[in-house]
Amino acid sequence: MQELNNTALEKVSNKIKELHLEEVSLFFLETHLPLSNIIAHLAYLVPPVFGKQYLELLKDPKSIEMLINRLKH
């Protein structure tokens, strides 16, 4: 499961970088990290770009923190 999460995080971060949305994504993720439950509900915007399997990543605050770290580097 952890390997799947790492692969999914890598794909999400690469796609965000490909679309040049790092700054917007970081702003959104960092300001709303304490409200990760709300992010999970808003994550229904994600499937058109990434697919449904990535919704689970946005429900976990640790996954969000890992995504933030990947986007910063």
pTM > 0.75: no
Q: How many whole angstroms from its chain centre is CA 1?
A: 16
CA–CA separation, 53 and 9 (whole Å): 11
**CA 72 → CA 11, 13, 14, 21, 52, distances in Å?**
15, 10, 12, 12, 24
Q: What is the pLDDT of residues 49-62, one digit of tens each?
A: 666 666 667 677 78
The answer to whether 16 touches 22, Cβ cutoff 8 Å, is yes
Q: What is the tens place of the pLDDT at every residue in 12-30?
A: 899 899 999 999 989 988 8
> Is pLDDT above 70 for 34?
yes
CB 25 within 8 A of CB 9: no
Structure confidence at residue 1 (pLDDT): 43
The pLDDT of residue 18 is 93
